[in-house]
């Protein structure tokens, strides 16, 4: 099936049996049968339309930051949107392609003297991923500034969703429910002082660097915050901070993170996640739900 798509699109460059550990922030993950970095939404549309007709499995990935790819890899076609990264402004709005990084988007807004995205200045994901999961930090969420998004269905149909149709919730959007692909997002911002915007971004990035293990590979915050609790505190009080599992470790800097300290595998990550969930539930009767997206096949 993958050979057929290569013949159908001879002008495109596909990578075969490509290790996804080269692209994930955890530096773990198995191989993709076929991987491509499209440069336009038109190419994505053509690929999705073809794959839909041929029943070829397709997996879309943004910046692979809040993501664990299992060690068995991903069957079919994997599309990474990182090369679709254009950002433009018009008045009080900034429109960014799905593959643009959130960090680059906040920097673009600052240069345009637009305020509202400062909370996201250090979020390592892509615009598409941030909208998909309604990413947030330091009291702000994407839902507060995203006014509309252009999305694509699994068969290649393009449509525009307004803020209400995006149905944002805590780490949730309607895009998850309908398995759609973010193509671009428009953020409605306010006029601001660029120096003050930069100062706020610098403050938040300093806080992040002081509290989070940015120096080591990780998937970011592993678990959603349970109502009435702080995830890191629960894991600490369960006596799990610093626990090593294979090459993975509960961060000694922030217990809500799992870091790759010694050639960890995705299985190490997942086993450690399950262990944390079991111990925290046993001690506190609190179920820690994963925030990180887990995809792919188990190792054979």
pLDDT higher than threshold 80 for residue 1: no
Distance CA 135, CA 170 (A): 8
Distance CA 42, CA 55 (A): 20
Q: Residue range 227-255: average pLDDT?
A: 97
Residue 170: the pLDDT is 93
Domains and CATH numbers, the chain: 2-80 (3.30.43.10), 87-209 (3.30.465.10), 213-295 (3.90.78.10)
Residue 74: phi, psi to the nearest 5? -125, 125
**This prediction's pTM:** 0.93
Q: Residue range 142-151: average pLDDT?
A: 98
**Is residue 3 very low, low, confident or very high in pLDDT (cuts 50, 70, 90)?**
confident
**Active-site residue identified among 180, 251, 291, 293:** 291
Q: Are 151 and 182 in contact (CB under 8 A)?
A: yes
Distance CA 12, CA 274 (A): 40
Q: Residue range 168-178: average pLDDT?
A: 95
Give per-residue pLDDT as tens, 196-223: 999 999 999 999 999 999 999 999 999 9
Specify whether 22 is catalytic. no
**Is residue 108 very low, low, confident or very high in pLDDT (cuts 50, 70, 90)?**
very high
**Active-site residue identified among 171, 184, 218, 251:** 171
- Residue 290 gets which letter from DSSP? B
Q: Are 134 and 293 in contact (CB under 8 A)?
A: no
Taking each continuous run of H as one helix and of E as one strand, the counts in the chain are: 9, 19
What percent of the chain is modeled with pLDDT above 70?
100
pLDDT higher than threshold 80 for residue 289: yes
- Residue 288 gets which letter from DSSP? -
**Arithmetic mean of pLDDT over the chain:** 96
Specify whether 282 is catalytic. no
Contacts of 231 (CB under 8 A, 6+ apart): 221, 222, 223, 224, 225, 255, 256, 288
Is residue 144 helix, strand or coil? helix
* Cα radius of gyration rounded to whole Å, the chain: 19
Residue 300: the pLDDT is 81
Specify whether 291 is catalytic. yes
**Is residue 63 very low, low, confident or very high in pLDDT (cuts 50, 70, 90)?**
confident
**Active-site residue identified among 18, 221, 251, 293:** 221
């Amino acid at each position: 099936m993958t050979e057929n798509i290569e013949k159908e699109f001879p002008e495109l460059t596909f990578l075969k049996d490509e290790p996804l550990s080269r692209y994930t922030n955890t530096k773990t993950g198995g191989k993709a049968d076929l991987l491509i970095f499209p440069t336009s939404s038109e190419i994505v549309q053509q690929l999705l339309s073809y794959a839909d007709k041929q029943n070829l499995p397709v997996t879309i990935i943004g910046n692979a930051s809040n993501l664990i790819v299992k060690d068995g890899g991903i069957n079919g076609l994997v599309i990474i949107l990182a090369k679709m990264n254009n950002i433009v402004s018009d008045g009080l709005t900034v429109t960014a392609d799905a593959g643009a990084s959130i960090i680059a988007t906040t920097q673009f807004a600052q240069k345009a003297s637009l305020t509202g995205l400062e909370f996201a200045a250090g979020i390592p994901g892509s615009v598409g991923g941030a909208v998909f999961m309604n990413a947030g930090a330091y009291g702000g969420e994407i839902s507060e500034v995203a006014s509309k998004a252009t999305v694509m269905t699994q068969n290649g149909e393009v449509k525009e969703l307004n803020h209400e149709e995006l149905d944002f919730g805590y780490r949730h959007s309607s895009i998850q429910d309908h398995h759609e692909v973010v193509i671009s997002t428009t953020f409605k911002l306010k006029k601001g002082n660029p120096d003050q915007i930069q100062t706020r971004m610098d403050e938040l990035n300093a806080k992040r660097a002081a509290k989070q293990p940015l120096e080591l590979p990780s998937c970011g915050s592993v678990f959603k915050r349970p109502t009435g609790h702080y995830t890191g505190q629960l894991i600490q009080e369960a006596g799990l901070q610093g626990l090593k599992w294979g090459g993975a470790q509960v961060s000694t800097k922030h217990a809500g993170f799992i870091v790759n300290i010694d050639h960890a595998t995705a299985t190490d990550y997942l086993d450690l996640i399950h262990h944390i969930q079991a111990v925290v539930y046993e001690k506190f009767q609190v179920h820690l739900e994963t925030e990180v997206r887990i995809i792919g096949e188990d190792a054979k």
